[in-house]
């Protein structure tokens, strides 16, 4: 099970939201690049980066900050948030982004996904489905789609999409455990490669996720639980030789 730390960028800072609510945010570091370097030092094999400002506006507000992360790290970077055109996808792939996540556009402009699948390998384009009670939410989770989450996935599958990032919004940022049943239901019906997201809080959640591997769930994006040091093994990952550490609340970087 590949664990992918999440870096959400808003107003140029590294933040976490609660259930996607832009009015419920916590700033962890002023520079997203610093956060990316810390996760790499803690042995991350991939990062999931989201431009939250772009998710609302459709404009790549934090493109330069994402470019800094891609250029500084030696691991694959997956990027999402407001990517709604072929040009936007190409711009990210051209700077070295490994995978681009299409979210809202998969609902509002499925023709875009169809076109992208003719231009790029399926490994470069993934679709993010963020659902609340089985209904996809779009445009920064401010609007609802018109079909069930698995129905959307099956439409994407017909176009050649192989991987879905599935988020149970009701669990995201709540630190109350991930949506096991909702993720299992979705994975069973979709029959695709699934990256789970939203609500993973503890090692017990990870053990339950492993049970879903038989349904195609092979990776998980984790945000707040990592930032709040919920996993005991994180203490082992700190690289004291280079003097980098974070305090328990991840509010500031400090040295030892």
Tell me which residue has tokens 């556009």. 105
Burial profile 220-246: b = 16 or more Cβ within 10 angstroms, e = fewer: bbbbbbbbbebbeeeeeebeeeeebeb
Choosing from 130, 132, 149, 172, which is the catalytic residue?
Answer: 130
For residue 8, indicate whether it is catalytic. Answer: yes
Choosing from 8, 51, 53, 168, which is the catalytic residue?
Answer: 8
Total residue count of the chain as it appears in this document? 256
Closest Cα partner for 82 from 140, 16, 133?
140
For residue 130, indicate whether it is catalytic. Answer: yes
Nearby residues of 220 by Cβ (< 8 Å), 6 or more positions away: 1, 2, 3, 4, 178, 195, 196, 197, 200, 206, 209
- Show which residues are catalytic: 8, 130
């Amino acid at each position: 099970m590949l664990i992918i730390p999440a870096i959400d960028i808003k107003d140029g800072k590294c933040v976490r939201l609660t259930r996607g609510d832009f009015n419920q945010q916590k700033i962890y570091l002023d520079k997203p690049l610093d956060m990316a370097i810390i996760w790499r030092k803690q042995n991350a094999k991939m990062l999931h980066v989201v431009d939250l400002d772009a998710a609302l506006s459709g404009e790549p507000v934090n493109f330069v900050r994402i470019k800094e992360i891609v250029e500084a790290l030696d691991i694959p970077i997956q990027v999402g948030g407001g990517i709604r055109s072929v040009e936007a996808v190409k711009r990210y792939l051209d700077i070295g982004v490994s995978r681009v996540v299409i979210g809202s556009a998969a609902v509002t402009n499925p023709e875009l996904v169809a076109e992208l699948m003719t231009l790029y390998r399926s490994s470069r384009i993934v679709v993010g489905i963020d659902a609340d009670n089985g209904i996809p939410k779009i445009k920064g989770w401010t609007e609802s789609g018109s079909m069930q989450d698995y129905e959307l996935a099956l439409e994407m599958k017909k176009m050649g999409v192989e991987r879905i990032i599935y988020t149970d919004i009701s669990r995201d940022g709540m630190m109350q455990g991930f949506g096991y049943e909702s993720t299992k239901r979705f994975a069973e019906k979709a029959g695709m490669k699934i990256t789970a997201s939203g609500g993973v809080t503890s090692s017990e959640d990870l053990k339950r996720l492993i049970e879903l591997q038989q349904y195609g769930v092979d990776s998980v994006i984790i945000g707040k639980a990592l930032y709040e040091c919920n996993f005991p093994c994180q203490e082992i990952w700190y690289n004291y030789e280079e003097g980098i550490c974070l305090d328990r609340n991840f509010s500031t970087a400090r040295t030892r």
